Amino acid sequence: MSLIHVARHGQTVGIFNEEDLREEINQQRLYAEDLIWKQGMIDWRPLHEMTQEWGWDVLTLKTMKNDSPLPPLLVPLPWEELGTRNFFSAFFNTLRAVLFSPKITFSRLDTKGGFIAPLLFYVLTASTIFTATLLMLLPQVLKNPSTFSPQLATLSQKSIIIGFVGLLVLAPFIFIAGVFLSSSIAHLSLKILGVARRPFRATLRIVCYSFGSTACFQLIPFVGSILGAVWGLVLYSIGLKEVYTLSKWRTFFVILLSIAFYLVLVMLVAFIFAAFYTGGAMPPAAPAPPSP
């Protein structure tokens, strides 16, 4: 049997082999409600369930007192345990957990975790899908560039390829900037409504895992973008509701306020660009009238 990880309320209790785990149970150091995971398992499961499944004759497994308040079970996502899990297993199990069990996943999300893991998850999924999309478009653009843009028709194939490579290089940095902007707007909305009970990193983690998981929808022809945006918004609202313990109406107003901020930002950027280009295209001043 592979090494067995034991966690309690989001904190690692230890990593044991089978013999040591039996000894911990016999010494009554573990609880029936403790969560365990080992290689091959999709998600964490209670210790008492697994001992029954393994057929262990356990008589000394104690339970937690029901009359004492317990902190929430904060369980790290598989992606955040890359040091002990297979890369592809951690990625796809995290994807499955967020997409198909968002309520449970976000209710157990460790909001005090770092920035690196969720950012890497988001940038990896978004950049991979973006790269796949560009590679599918590239042959069509090279074959008939005028279909996509009259400006492309004036460029050589080498210039088009260089432009595509440049986009691929810049994409991760654009995605990082975008996710920080989105998280900042969301957290500002939470603060304005007085419900920001968690630090900024909690909001960023919700945004990264919600929209990073739905990035794969972009590969679905015709409806992929719409489906990804809608389901990403659903996951995002569930994440806000569970992590910040919000009512449905407060969650709705947070999202509504965030959308309002986005619209103002888009209008401001459009106004700046319009002013810039209009200013560049203004006709020269009319000559002064001749003196009498």
Tokens matching residue 157: 């194939």
Instruction: Give the per-residue pLDDT at 180.
Output: 95
pLDDT value of position 69: 42
3 state SS of 140: helix
The pLDDT assigned to 120 comes to: 94
The one-digit pLDDT tens for each residue of the chain (292 residues) are 578 888 877 667 777 888 878 877 777 778 888 888 888 777 788 888 888 887 776 656 666 554 444 444 566 788 988 877 788 988 998 998 899 888 888 887 887 778 899 999 999 999 999 998 888 888 888 888 888 888 887 888 888 889 899 999 999 999 999 999 999 999 999 999 998 888 899 999 999 999 999 988 888 888 888 998 899 999 999 999 988 888 889 999 999 999 999 999 999 988 888 887 765 554 455 455 555 5
User: Regarding beta strands 35-38 and 11-16, do their DSSP bridges make them parallel or antiparallel, or are they unpaired?
Assistant: unpaired
pLDDT of residue 57: 67
Task: With CA atoms as reference, report the closest residue to 223 among 213, 234, 231.
Answer: 231
Inter-residue contact 210 to 165 (CB < 8 Å): no
CA angle 20, 21, 24 (to 5 degrees): 90
Give residue 245's region: left, alpha or beta (phi > 0; psi -120 to 50).
Answer: left
Q: How much helix, strand and coil, in percent to the nearest 5, is found in the chain? A: 65, 5, 30
Tell me how far the alpha carbon of residue 193 is from its chain's centroid. 23
Q: Is the dihedral of CA 112, 87, 99, 178 positive or negative?
A: positive
pLDDT score of 41 = 79
pLDDT at 67: 41
Residues ≥6 apart with Cβ < 8 Å to 113: 76, 80, 201, 205
Torsion of CA 33, 37, 43, 46, to 10 degrees: -10
Please report the pLDDT score of residue 171 as a whole number: 92
Whole-angstrom distance, CA of residue 218 vs CA of residue 220: 5
* Residue ranges of domains in the chain, CATH in brackets: 1-75 (3.30.1490), 106-273 (no CATH)
Q: Which helix (H) or strand (E) holds 8?
A: strand 4-8
Rounded CA-CA distance 23/77 in Å is 28
Closest by CA to 35, choosing from 43, 25, 23, 24, is 43
DSSP string, 35-60: EEEETT-SS-EEHHHHHHHHT---S-
Specify whether the CB–CB gap between 159 and 219 falls below 8 A: no
List, in sequence order, every residue forming a beta bridge with 62; answer none if it has no partner.
31
Exposure string (b/e) for 17-42, b if CB count within 10 Å is 16 or more?
eeeebeebbeeeebbebbbbbbeebe
CB 177 within 8 A of CB 207: no
Residue 167 CB coordination number (10 Å): 13
What is the spatial distance between Cα 172 and Cα 181, in angstroms, rounded to a whole number?
14
> How far is it, in rounded angstroms, from Cα 227 to Cα 229?
6
